[in-house]
Amino acid sequence: MSADQLPSWHESSAKQSIVDFVGAVTDQGSPDFVPSTERVAVFDNDGTLWTEQPMYTQLAFALDRAAELGRPTSLEELQAGGMAALVELISLTHADVTTEEFDAACRTWLASARHPRFARPYPQTVYQPMLELLDLLDHHGFSCWIFSGGGTDFMRTWAGEAYGLPPHRVIGSVGETEFRTGENGPELVKGAKIDVINDGPLKPSSIHRHIGQRPVLAAGNTDGDLAMLQWTAGSPHRTLELVVRHTDGEREYAYDRDPVLGSGNGQVLAAAAEHRWTVIDMAADWAVVHPPVS
Amino acid sequence: MSADQLPSWHESSAKQSIVDFVGAVTDQGSPDFVPSTERVAVFDNDGTLWTEQPMYTQLAFALDRAAELGRPTSLEELQAGGMAALVELISLTHADVTTEEFDAACRTWLASARHPRFARPYPQTVYQPMLELLDLLDHHGFSCWIFSGGGTDFMRTWAGEAYGLPPHRVIGSVGETEFRTGENGPELVKGAKIDVINDGPLKPSSIHRHIGQRPVLAAGNTDGDLAMLQWTAGSPHRTLELVVRHTDGEREYAYDRDPVLGSGNGQVLAAAAEHRWTVIDMAADWAVVHPPVS
């Protein structure tokens, strides 16, 4: 395998662990060989594949949409209200619309919204090294899936194109939808009830439901990804676990705890140390963070 | 397109509607052309892809397993108890086991159980003409998915092999699973709560959740498939709707209403007549019903 397939990665142990793993599981002569039908790789999204600061992009969308709907709220109110306030905001801004209307609203917002620090469309805040990793895995017969706490419908409006994945491989939190026949024929209406908050121990359940196979590679960045990483590590095959650590205040952000929602990485870093999972040190391991602005 | 790809279909209007549709949507010069990434086809399972009489196969499994667990029940008790009794039986026989244990229990049962009339393993009660259709669609760039009221975990133990589908394309009813770390490491334990009964208007919701694209082909056989067929018919693309009708008491069964659970096909046949969907008359349209015993 040519190392050139990961040009935005420095020649460090993180890159080497990826190259070694992909080489071993795709080599028919290796005891670690995994048939291509079982090469399943799962990725968290926010903070793992794209920038999640100064706030989750979907939260920025929800705040803008709440204001547009005449029900503005602030980040401070949200933080004071905790998870209940967040769920209320999501319900307000993501419900009582058809799936097609919601899709259109997301695309309209994404077309004009810009990241406050990087001054580029949010889909261009994806991590160039992770795009190269997705591409490398795809070329080696892996099927890559996203399992995120973000909303499935929101993600599918941009993630497919950004990551080169079909919509069925982009899975997140899911609200109920109601089938009805409206003026424009049959449609699905998004409801206020959230069926699955796709985080923590629910990630392995979602993986089981949506894929039905145990992954051999998992990548995450917070304790909400711990169960997904553990579930992957328990596979009978050789596996690779990746933990992205935000160490780069100059080119991106440096933090171990999300300032808005409070999610941290203490447990996942402890597990990484115990089980020798690969910690990706953004400042040390990545030659480039974001792709050139297109 | 060679008509030989459907050798178990008689040269009737049902076969012609399939051949015409596949020809049109895969012909780049046709106004009905659909790009391969949007060629999504969805199939009900019981009674559409395999025999569902004298009772759903999964129900036969559940009755055998309930007896094995020391809690035998009869079909008569089930019918008297309605949906509540059915849910109780499913909970008893499908819960409090890890997903791996349940998988093993299904495979063990399937290896020895035989269909009472056809005296063959249940996975060999699939319909040969529908296998040919799945194959034809696959060769023309379609992705075929199953959306069944049956349990996802039960179906995935045999349907992938029988139909040539990866597990993520086999979707049914889903119970909760709990992630925990047991003696053998991380595992998922099946619980008693059913999250989704994948029937009726919930089928379009499941399709949206699992695929994120609107199908252009749908096949079903009961009123539980009506919403899925309507959802498909509402696509902006040219679509094909197939309704399998059980008219063949000699080679299979002749019925419009399931004698055990009472599901019928009155609404779906009325919709087929109104919208000129394709009704497959098993006796008239299929030269062969089941594959040769292997």
- Give the pLDDT confidence of A209-260 residue by residue, as tens digits: 999 999 999 999 999 999 999 999 999 999 999 999 999 999 999 999 987 7
- Contact list in B for residue A167 (CB cut-off 8 A) is 211-213
Interface residues on A facing B, Cβ-Cβ cutoff 8 A: 37, 99, 152, 156, 166-168, 170, 174, 176-181, 185-188, 195, 201-202, 204-205, 208-213, 227, 230-231, 233-234
- What is the count of residue pairs from A and B with beta carbons less than 8 Å apart? 85
**Rounded Cα gap, residues A89 and A199, in angstroms:** 18
In a domain, A30, yes or no: yes
Structure confidence at residue B259 (pLDDT) = 75
Report CA-CA distances (Å) from A69 to A107, A151, B243.
Answer: 17, 19, 43
In a domain, A237, yes or no: yes
Of A152, A180, A211, which has the smallest distance from its Cβ to B168's Cβ? A211
Sequence length of chain A is: 294
Overall number of domains in chain B: 1
Q: How far is B287 from chain A (nearest CA, A)?
A: 34
> How does pLDDT run across A114-151, given as a tens digit for each residue?
999 999 999 999 999 999 999 999 999 999 999 999 99
Q: At A263, is the pLDDT very low, low, confident or very high (cuts 50, 70, 90)?
A: confident
| DSSP track, B200-263 | TTHHHHHHHHHT-S--SEEEESSGGGHHHHHHHHTSSS--EEEEEEEE-TTTS-EESB-TTT--
Is the peptide bond prior to A116 cis by the omega test (within 30 degrees of 0)?
no
Q: How far is A211 from chain B (nearest CA, A)?
A: 4
What does the mean pLDDT of chain B come to? 95
Question: Is the predicted pLDDT of residue A23 greater than 60, yes or no?
Answer: yes
Of B99, B204, B234, which has the smallest distance from its Cβ to A208's Cβ? B99
Please name the residues in contact with A231: beta carbons below 8 A apart, sequence gap of 6 or more: A203, A204, A207, A214, A215, A218, B179, B186, B188
Q: Is the ipTM, as predicted for this complex, more than 0.90? A: yes
Residue B146 phi, psi dihedral angles, 5° rounding = -105, 130
- Contact list in A for residue B179 (CB cut-off 8 A) is 201-202, 204-205, 227, 231
Angle at A195 between CA B234 and CA B143, to 5 degrees: 40
Q: At A1, is the pLDDT very low, low, confident or very high (cuts 50, 70, 90)?
A: low
CB contact under 8 A, B179 and A202: yes
- Contact list in A for residue B213 (CB cut-off 8 A) is 167-168
Question: HEC states along A242-261?
Answer: EEEEEECCCCCCEECECCCC
Of B167, B186, B209, which has the smallest distance from its Cβ to A212's Cβ? B167
Q: Quick one: tokens of A222?
A: 């917070």
In a domain, B165, yes or no: yes
Question: Is the predicted pLDDT of residue A163 greater than 70, yes or no?
Answer: yes
SS3 state of residue A294: coil
Contact between B170 and B160 (Cβ < 8 Å): yes
CB contact under 8 A, A156 and B212: yes
CB contact under 8 A, B227 and A186: yes
Please name the residues in contact with B224: beta carbons below 8 A apart, sequence gap of 6 or more: B44, B149, B199, B200, B203, B263
Q: At A109, is the pLDDT very low, low, confident or very high (cuts 50, 70, 90)?
A: very high
CB contact under 8 A, A186 and B234: yes
Q: At B2, is the pLDDT very low, low, confident or very high (cuts 50, 70, 90)?
A: low
Q: At A3, is the pLDDT very low, low, confident or very high (cuts 50, 70, 90)?
A: low
In a domain, B107, yes or no: yes
SS3 state of residue A179: strand
**Rounded Cα gap, residues A87 and A80, in angstroms:** 13
> How does pLDDT run across A174-189, given as a tens digit for each residue?
999 999 998 889 999 9
In a domain, B290, yes or no: no
In a domain, A97, yes or no: no
Q: At B86, is the pLDDT very low, low, confident or very high (cuts 50, 70, 90)?
A: confident
Q: At B91, is the pLDDT very low, low, confident or very high (cuts 50, 70, 90)?
A: confident
Q: At B3, is the pLDDT very low, low, confident or very high (cuts 50, 70, 90)?
A: low
Query: Whole domain around residue A210: which residue ranges?
Result: 3-54+124-187+196-285
Looking at per-residue pLDDT, the higher value among B154 and B83 belongs to: B154
Interface residues on B facing A, Cβ-Cβ cutoff 8 A: 37, 99, 152, 156, 166-168, 170, 174, 176-181, 185-188, 195, 201-202, 204-205, 208-213, 227, 230-231, 233-234
In a domain, B164, yes or no: yes
**Best mutation target, B146, B158, B188, B275, to test chain A (most A CBs within 10 A):** B188
Q: What is the CATH number of the domain that holds A138?
A: 3.40.50.1000
Structure confidence at residue A24 (pLDDT) = 98
Question: Is the predicted pLDDT of residue B34 greater than 90, yes or no?
Answer: yes
Of A37, A188, A209, which has the smallest distance from its Cβ to B208's Cβ? A188
- Contact list in B for residue A175 (CB cut-off 8 A) is none
**Best mutation target, B106, B147, B155, B179, to test chain A (most A CBs within 10 A):** B179
- Contact list in B for residue A185 (CB cut-off 8 A) is 234
**pTM for this structure?**
0.96
In a domain, B46, yes or no: yes
